[in-house]
Amino acid sequence: MGTVSGVNVELISKISGIDSTDIKYISGLDTRLIPGWPRNPISCVDLSYQFGPVPGLACSSDPTLYSFNMATQQLFQFGYCDDILNYASEGFYVDTFGNIYNWQETIMGWSWSFFGTCTPTPTCDDMSFSFGEAPGIACSAGASFYSFDTTNSLLYTFGSCGGDYAPEGFYSDGVSIYWWHTVGRDLVWEIIGPCG
């Protein structure tokens, strides 16, 4: 059995009024490394998470099983609940609902915190538009293909749905003129009138 200040750990029930099972660190040492340190019952569940070093990669990776201690909010490799030598890797984890969590080591120990949500991958249609820096030019210019997200009214360069936005300016499908421009911090696609 281990000792703290010469006292056998199994005899310690409280330190400064705090229940010993609630104490995670003593002078920076993880109490799970002290043999015989009293612990609350382990309450791990096995959960599926997608992992990545950055949120975008975590959102698109394949899911893997991990063991998660609900009481301490700690993540472990699958089957190694509460074994600090098998911490899951530091990075970003995505649950089955698309919630992103940041698992990182801090000066106070390991931290599990909500980061955000995965943005759904947009779906685009390849559409032909002519482009111009003025409305009249857009109607008479030669057409090129672009990728257009009809759900969110976003225009991308051809083949880069959800990636590179098309240049700002005026576009035409041969019938109507559209203005693709910045409003505040967002790009906006709006109809401004018919050609001709």
**Largest Cα–Cα separation, the chain:** 92
d(CA 114, CA 195) in angstroms, rounded, equals 49
Match 């000792």 to its residue by tokens.
3
Instruction: Tell me what pLDDT residue 181 has.
Output: 93
pLDDT of residue 122: 78
Residue 51 carries which side chain, given as an amino acid letter? F
Alpha helical stretches, state H, 61-169: 135-140
Give the per-residue pLDDT at 39: 61
Are residues 93 and 79 in contact, defined by beta-carbon separation less than 8 angstroms?
no
Q: Nearest Cα to 193, choosing from 132, 128, 136?
A: 136
Which pLDDT score, from 0 to 100, does residue 79 have? 82
pTM of structure: 0.47
* 120-139 burial: b if 16+ Cβ within 10 Å, else e: eebebeeeebbbbeebeebb
Q: What is the pLDDT of residue 184?
A: 80
In what helix (H) or strand (E) does residue 138 lie, and over which residues does it extend?
helix 135-140
Residuewise pLDDT in 10s, the chain (196 residues): 455 565 554 545 445 555 666 566 666 666 666 666 666 556 788 889 999 888 878 888 889 999 888 888 888 888 888 666 667 889 999 998 889 999 998 888 889 999 988 877 778 999 999 999 888 899 988 999 999 998 889 999 998 887 789 999 999 999 999 999 988 878 899 999 998 7
Please give the order of strands across the beta sheet that includes 176-183. Answer: 154-157, 143-149, 125-132, 169-172, 176-183, 186-194
Residue 168, pLDDT score: 94
